[in-house]
Amino acid sequence: NIISKKWAVFSLKMNEKNRKILAKIKRKIMNFGKKIIKIEKEKILIQNFIGNLVHNTCFFKQTEAQTRGETKIFLRRKEKGKVRFNHFDLLKMIKAVDYKRGSLISGNRGYFLKGPGLLLNLSLLRYGLDFLSKKKFISLQTPFFMNSGLLKKCSQLEDFNEQLYSVGEGGEKYLIATSEQPISAFHTNEKITKNKLPLKYSGFSTCFRKESGSHGKDSAGIFRVHQFEKIEQFILTDSKGTESWALFEELLGNTQEFYSSLKIPYICVDIPSGAINNSASRKIDLLGWFPSSGSYKELVSCSNCTDFQSKRMNIELFPASEKFNRKFVHMLNSTLCATTRVICCILENNQTNLGIKIPDVIRSYVGLSFFPFN
């Protein structure tokens, strides 16, 4: 205010010529300011199309199919000829789901979980949270929607058309597709001291996805639906050295241990450079065995996003290792359990002539050891 008053007094003392020069300079400054705002918006738009640096341990190939021969099979699997029913039929046979009323009320891929289906859903959620709690993960239940400005910083632009549901007018908020999204923004604009790292979170959320790009793909049953529950692993750590890569192996090891405990046969597929998403530097998927189709289907995605997300969220390391050299945390994420998919896999791998055997590790949560066919 003092400077403004002094400047006003000074401008009154100027002659007409100098006042015109000053006015011209002000207009130029305002025009430059508008150009800077426009350029900043264009820069952000371009940045959204530039992906993370792919790690040198990735397979530099175009498609996932090209890496299948370089994966390892874990656990003995039941062959296709030894099972009678697929997960779509099995869910009906134990009266675990109501497809007809679900579709009538909510549309395509709608469903009601009931009885055994609800018990399995809640049991997997609680088992997953307890499993990660024993590994010192902090449990978070996230909001169901996010402000679009933050969501754009942790999602690819095509997701807004193919995956995300807009809430309200003007597209200001969106329903989340995974708890990874709100957890990646949990420490936005914060400086995190190194002695607090790593921060390990287990995220529980309901997830909402349009699945626009998957028309006709796994459309039967509850394997690929618009609404489901999921437990997610998320870690923030130091960017120095190879610490984040050691934690990447830890996340993958957690998922392998989890599915081994459920006695689900699986393989791990190292996603090649041509198929990896923008935010990940390296990504490995875990696929569970579905004996009715004789195929493996995706249950888990495990990614190290290094500092790709944290730069956009402005989550810094403190103190910086060098003066005037900002350092950002590394962020990693991995599915632990998307419940509807895991339920489908459990049913197919545990069917008998009389019903479904409940995996030992979740029997105390379910309260039963067997679901008979009706």
Beta bridge partners of 370: 357
Mean pLDDT of the residues in the chain: 87
Those residues whose C-beta lies under 8 Å from the C-beta of residue 101, and which sit 6 or more positions away, are 112
Average of pLDDT values for 98-110? 92
Does residue 202 carry a pLDDT above 80? yes
pLDDT of residue 152: 84
Read off the pTM.
Answer: 0.84
pLDDT value, residue 284: 94
- The Cα 343–Cα 91 span in angstroms is 9
CB-based burial, 104-120: b 16+ in 10 Å, e otherwise:
eeeeebbbbbeebbebb
**Integer Cα distance of 135 and 40 in angstroms:** 42
CA-CA-CA-CA torsion for 66, 72, 78, 81, nearest 10 degrees?
30
Structure tokens at 348: 């197919």
Share of the chain above pLDDT 90, in %: 60
What pLDDT, on the 0 to 100 scale, is given for residue 82? Answer: 64
* pLDDT for the residue 154: 82
Chain segment 81-103, per-residue pLDDT in tens = 566 899 999 999 999 999 999 99
Non-local (6+) Cβ contacts of 167 within 8 A are: 145, 173, 174, 175
Q: Taking each helix axis from N to C terminus, what angle separates 116-133 and 243-261, rounded to the nearest 10 degrees? A: 140
More confident residue, 13 or 209: 209
The least confident of 13-17, 35-39, 139-143, 273-277 is 13-17
Residue 10 has pLDDT above 80, yes or no: no
CA-CA-CA-CA torsion sign (359, 363, 365, 371): positive
pLDDT value at 285 more than 80: yes
